[in-house]
Amino acid sequence: MNKNRREFLKTAATGAALIGSSAAVDKLAFAAADQHTPAGKSRVVVAHDPQLHGPDGRLDDKRAQALLDRAIASWTGRDNPVEAWKHIVPVGKVIGLKINGLGGKGIATHAVLTLAICERLQQAGVKPSQIVIFEQRTHFLDACGFQHVDNPGGIRTLSSEIYGYEPQPSSYGSATIRLAKALTLCDMVIGLPILKDHSGAGVTFAMKNMYGVVDRPQDLHATNCNPAVADLNCIPAIRQKVRFTIGDAMTSVYDGGPGFHPERLWRPNALIVGEDRVAIDHTAWQMIERKRAEAGMPTLEAVGRPPRYIATAADEAHKLGVNDPQRIHLMEV
C-alpha cells in the first residue's frame, strides 16, 4: 500500500479524512432515478471517459473520481455527488465494498476507485467505522492495493482468510458454502468487480464476484459455473445485502481470464453501475463479445464457455434480475 493510501486510511480512522454530512437517510431511496426509467425496465449506466488513461497507460486519478461522480449522478438523477450518494446508501448502517484482486495487480479493482467511493460514502454521512473493504485472500486484497487492517475505529480492510467464515453453511440449489464474516457483518454491500473474460464461466463480473465471499469457491465451477453463480446469488444474505454494483471496467482482459494476460489487456475506460446484477452482467457480456469480435476472436459460445448463468439468474426459479435487452434501460454517458 502506498503512502497516500496509508494516510487516507489513517485519517479516515479518526473521521478526519472528510467533513461528513449530517444526512438522515435510513433506507435506500432510488425514486429519483426511477422517474427517468421506463416502467418494468432495469436501469444500467455505463459511464465512459476515453482519456481516463494517459498516453503512458497510467490511470488519471482525478478523471477516475470524476467518472465515478458522473456515473452515480446519471444513475440517481442527482447532479450533486454527495446528494446522489445519499440516495444509494443508508446512514447508520455498515457498508461493505467487495473488491476483486484474484487476477493479480494487473487486473484488480483499482484502489483509486475504492478510495473515491470511501470518500463519497463519508461525505454522505457514513462513518469510517461503518465502511468495510474486503476480499477473500490476503494476496487478493494486496493486489487491490490494501492490507488486512481490522481497526474497529476506522475503515476496515479485511481478508477473509484472516477474519474468517461463518461456522454454519448456507445453501441454495447447487451451492452449499460458508459465508465470509466480512459479508455478514455488513448491512449493505456494494460490489466492485473488475470486468474480465473467464476460462470457465465466460464472463466474470457482478454475480461471479460473489465467489469471493465464500470459503470454497472451487466447489462452484462445474458446467461453466451454471447454475452455481445464480444459486450462490440466491443465498439470502447475498441476495439481500448486495444491493448495488459499481463495476470497474476501466481495465479489462477479453480473453485468457480471470488471470492477467497483458497481451489481451483492454482499456474500456468505463464504469458500469446499477442495482440489477443480472442486467449488469448481460451488459458486461456484450461489451466483451464486441471486443472479441473487434479483435477477430470467436464468440464465447463458439469456444464452449457461454455465460449461461446469466439467463439462469433471470429465470423464474431465481428472479435475480433481467437479461432481456428490451427490459434493460441502458444509459451510456
Residue 29 has pLDDT above 80, yes or no: no
Q: What is the SS3 assignment for 100?
A: coil
pLDDT, greater one: 29 or 95: 95
The whole-angstrom separation of Cα 198 and Cα 208 is 10
**Best CA proximity match to 151, nearest among 12, 39, 314:** 12
Paired sense of beta strands 95-98 and 188-191, if any: parallel
Q: 17 in a domain, yes or no?
A: no
Q: 232 in a domain, yes or no?
A: yes
The whole-angstrom separation of Cα 191 and Cα 87 is 17
Block residue for cell numbers 474468517: 164
The whole-angstrom separation of Cα 169 and Cα 304 is 32
Q: How confident is the model at residue 37 (pLDDT cuts 50, 70, 90)?
A: low
The answer to which of 16-25, 128-137, 166-175, 251-260 has the lowest mean pLDDT is 16-25
Which pLDDT score is estimated for 27?
Answer: 38
Return the beta strands (E) in 99-201 as ranges.
131-135, 156-159, 170-172, 175-177, 188-191, 194-198
In one-letter notation, the amino acid at residue 58 is R
∠ CA 108-92-184, nearest 5°, is: 50
The whole-angstrom separation of Cα 183 and Cα 194 is 19
Q: How confident is the model at residue 16 (pLDDT cuts 50, 70, 90)?
A: very low
pLDDT digits (tens, 9 = 90+) for 264-286: 999 999 999 999 999 999 999 99
pLDDT digits (tens, 9 = 90+) for 243-270: 999 999 999 999 999 999 899 999 999 9
The residue segments making up the domain with residue 146 are 3-8+41-332
Give how far Cα 70 sits from Cα of 67, 79, 113, 118, 161, Å. Answer: 5, 8, 13, 16, 35
Which pLDDT score is estimated for 8?
Answer: 52
CATH number at residue 290: 3.40.50
Q: 15 in a domain, yes or no?
A: no
Its pTM stands at 0.90
**Best CA proximity match to 133, nearest among 15, 213, 225:** 213
Q: 31 in a domain, yes or no?
A: no
The whole-angstrom separation of Cα 303 and Cα 297 is 10
Per the CB < 8 A criterion, the answer to whether 100 and 247 are in contact is: no
Q: 236 in a domain, yes or no?
A: yes
Per the CB < 8 A criterion, the answer to whether 328 and 281 are in contact is: no
Q: 121 in a domain, yes or no?
A: yes
DSSP run (H or E) holding 239: helix 236-241
Return the beta strands (E) in the chain as ranges.
42-48, 95-98, 131-135, 156-159, 170-172, 175-177, 188-191, 194-198, 202-204, 242-253, 265-266, 270-274, 328-332
> Could you give the number of structural domains in the chain?
1
In one-letter notation, the amino acid at residue 245 is T
pLDDT digits (tens, 9 = 90+) for 173-231: 999 999 999 999 999 999 999 999 999 999 999 999 999 999 999 999 999 999 999 99
Residue 21 has pLDDT above 90, yes or no: no
pLDDT digits (tens, 9 = 90+) for 56-86: 889 999 999 999 999 999 999 999 999 999 9
Q: 29 in a domain, yes or no?
A: no
Per the CB < 8 A criterion, the answer to whether 285 and 202 are in contact is: yes
Residue 23 has pLDDT above 60, yes or no: no
In one-letter notation, the amino acid at residue 80 is N
Q: 21 in a domain, yes or no?
A: no
